[in-house]
Chain A
Amino acid sequence: MPPEAMGKVLVIFAHPAFHRSRTNRVLVEAARSAEGVTVHDLYETYPDFLIDARAEQRLLEEHDAVVLQHPFFWYSSPALVKEWLDLVLQYGWAYGEKGDALRGKVMAQAITAGGPEDAYQREGTNHFSVRELLSPFEQTARLCGMAYAEAFTVHAANHIGDPDRTAAGERYVEWLTAIRDGSASLWLPGPG
Chain B
Amino acid sequence: MAFESVFLQAFIYLAAALVAVVAGKRLGLGAVLGYLIIGAAIGPWGLGLIGGESEQITHFAEFGVVVMLFLVGLEMRPTELWRMRRQIFGLGGMQVVLCSLGLAAAAVAFGCHWKPALAMGLILAMSSTAIVLQSLAEKNLLRTEAGQNSFAVLLFQDLAVIPIIAALPLLATGGAREAAAHASHDWMEGWPAWGRGLVTLGAVVLVVIIARLATRPLFRAIAKTRQREAFTAASLILIIGIALLMTKVGLSAALGTFVAGVVLANSEYRHELESDLEPFKGLLLGLFFLGVGVGIDFGHIGRFPGTVLGLAAGLIVVKAVLIYGLARLHRSPRESSFVFAAALAGGGEFAFVLIGLAISSGVFNETQAKTLTAGVAISMAATPLLILASHRLTARAMKKPVSDRESDLHDEGAPVIICGFGRFGHIVGRLLRTQGVHSTVLDNDPDQVDTLRAIGMPVFFGDAGRPDMLLTAGAARAKILVITLKDPAITLNIIETARKYFPHLQIFVRAYSRAEAYELLDAGEQRIYRDTLDSSLTMGTDVLRELGMPAYTAYRAAKLYRRRDEVFLRKMAKHRHQDDDAFLSAAREVQKTLDKVMREEPGHGIGDEGWSPPLADPNKETP
Where the two chains meet, the residues of A that have a C-beta atom closer than 8 Å to any C-beta of B are: 16-21, 43-45, 47-48, 71-75, 78, 113-116, 119, 125-126, 156, 158-159
| Cβ–Cβ contact A17 & B618, under 8 A | no
- Collect the chain A residues with CB atoms within 8 Å of residue B553's CB: 17-19
- Collect the chain A residues with CB atoms within 8 Å of residue B555's CB: 47-48
- Collect the chain A residues with CB atoms within 8 Å of residue B613's CB: 20-21, 114, 158
- Collect the chain B residues with CB atoms within 8 Å of residue A126's CB: 623
Known: A17-B553, A18-B550, A116-B619. 14 other contacts (CB 8 A): A17-B608, A17-B612, A18-B553, A19-B550, A19-B553, A19-B604, A20-B604, A20-B611, A45-B551, A47-B552, A73-B623, A113-B623, A114-B623, A125-B621
Rounded to whole angstroms, the CA-CA distance of A74 and B610 in the bound complex is 14
Asked if A16 meets B618 with Cβ closer than 8 Å, knowing A72-B623, A73-B623, the reply is: no
B538 to chain A, nearest CB (A): 10
B555 and chain A: residue at smallest CB distance: A47
A39 to chain B, nearest CB (A): 14
| Cβ–Cβ contact A20 & B622, under 8 A | no
The 7 A-B pairs with the shortest beta carbon distances in the complex, nearest first, are A47-B555, A114-B622, A43-B552, A47-B551, A17-B611, A47-B552, A158-B613
- Collect the chain A residues with CB atoms within 8 Å of residue B556's CB: 47
Most buried by A among B552, B554, B610: B552
- Collect the chain A residues with CB atoms within 8 Å of residue B423's CB: none
B614 within 8 A of A: yes
Number of interface residues of B (CB under 8 A): 21
B620 within 8 A of A: yes
B101 within 8 A of A: no
Rounded to whole angstroms, the CA-CA distance of A146 and B550 in the bound complex is 32
| Cβ–Cβ contact A16 & B621, under 8 A | no
26 examples of A-B residue contacts, CB within 8 angstroms: A16-B610, A17-B608, A17-B612, A18-B553, A19-B549, A19-B553, A19-B604, A20-B604, A20-B611, A20-B613, A44-B550, A44-B552, A45-B551, A47-B551, A47-B554, A47-B556, A71-B611, A73-B611, A73-B623, A74-B623, A114-B623, A115-B618, A115-B619, A115-B623, A125-B620, A125-B621
Interface residues of B in 533-565 (CB under 8 A from A): 549-556
Rounded to whole angstroms, the CA-CA distance of A71 and B620 in the bound complex is 17
A132 to chain B, nearest CB (A): 14
Most buried by B among A20, A72, A73: A20
| Cβ–Cβ contact A16 & B622, under 8 A | no
Asked if A20 meets B612 with Cβ closer than 8 Å, knowing A113-B623, A125-B620, A125-B621, the reply is: yes
B550 to chain A, nearest CB (A): 5
Interface residues of B in 585-620 (CB under 8 A from A): 604, 608, 610-614, 618-620
A70 to chain B, nearest CB (A): 11
Contact of B618 among A21, A45, A73, A159 (CB under 8 A): A159
B601 and chain A: residue at smallest CB distance: A20
- Collect the chain A residues with CB atoms within 8 Å of residue B554's CB: 47
- Collect the chain B residues with CB atoms within 8 Å of residue A47's CB: 551-552, 554-556
Rounded to whole angstroms, the CA-CA distance of A21 and B612 in the bound complex is 10
B551 and chain A: residue at smallest CB distance: A47
A45 to chain B, nearest CB (A): 7
| Cβ–Cβ contact A16 & B614, under 8 A | no
Rounded to whole angstroms, the CA-CA distance of A152 and B259 in the bound complex is 82
Rounded to whole angstroms, the CA-CA distance of A74 and B623 in the bound complex is 6
- Collect the chain B residues with CB atoms within 8 Å of residue A113's CB: 623
Asked if A17 meets B610 with Cβ closer than 8 Å, knowing A44-B550, A45-B551, A47-B551, the reply is: yes
A102 to chain B, nearest CB (A): 26
B603 and chain A: residue at smallest CB distance: A19
Rounded to whole angstroms, the CA-CA distance of A115 and B604 in the bound complex is 25
| Cβ–Cβ contact A158 & B551, under 8 A | no
| Cβ–Cβ contact B611 & A16, under 8 A | yes
- Collect the chain A residues with CB atoms within 8 Å of residue B608's CB: 17
- Collect the chain A residues with CB atoms within 8 Å of residue B612's CB: 17, 20
- Collect the chain A residues with CB atoms within 8 Å of residue B621's CB: 125
| Cβ–Cβ contact A44 & B551, under 8 A | yes
B100 to chain A, nearest CB (A): 72
A49 to chain B, nearest CB (A): 9
